[in-house]
Amino acid sequence: MENITLGTIASNIIWLGAFIGGCLLLLKYAKSIFKKVITEPITNQMLENKRELDKKITDLQTDLNQKINVLGADQCKNYIVRYLADVENGENLSEVETERAYDAYEKYTNLYHGNSYIHSRWNKVMKNRK
């Protein structure tokens, strides 16, 4: 115990401080290397995968909406054709069926922008009906 001096203690404290500082510097450097080598490529790949998935989802939504519109237009056409055939055959149709036909025709022309044989047939049959 008598060989320990104040200078020895001071030099040991300085050495310990330098050692801890060096270890912290090495950890900081290792963290930056880890981030550049491992974290950034994984993050970039995840972002690219997310962009691809978002594009696929958007494409699927667009495709689905187009198919829904085609289905809706076809349903309107089917109802209108059936209704017009009943009118031409002199069927006794209720007021609700007629209102439904007008709704279907309005949806077909305004929402689905249909303007085909349905339009000309509707005009001809409804003109003769009145």
Spatial CB neighbours of 97, under 8 Å, sequence gap ≥ 6: 83, 86
> pTM here?
0.61
Angle between helices 95-106 and 40-88 (to 10 degrees): 140
Residue 5 confidence class, pLDDT cut points 50, 70, 90: confident
Question: What backbone phi and psi angles, to 5 degrees, belong to 92?
Answer: -85, 105
Residue 130 confidence class, pLDDT cut points 50, 70, 90: low
Mean pLDDT of 66-74: 94
Is the pLDDT at 43 greater than 90? The verdict is no
Residue 13 confidence class, pLDDT cut points 50, 70, 90: very high
Distance of CA 104 to the CA centre of its chain: 30
For residue 120, CA distances in Å to 114, 127, 128 come to 11, 11, 12
Task: Tell me the C-alpha distance between 104 and 68, whole Å.
Answer: 15
Residue 44 confidence class, pLDDT cut points 50, 70, 90: confident
Residue 2 confidence class, pLDDT cut points 50, 70, 90: low
- pLDDT tens profile 78-123: 999 999 999 999 889 999 999 999 999 999 999 998 888 898 999 9
Is the pLDDT at 1 greater than 60? The verdict is no
Token readout for 59 is 């494409």
For residue 59, CA distances in Å to 5, 33, 44, 112 come to 78, 39, 23, 21
CB atoms inside a 10 Å sphere around CB 77: 18
Q: Are 87 and 125 in contact (CB under 8 A)?
A: yes
Mean pLDDT of 16-41: 89
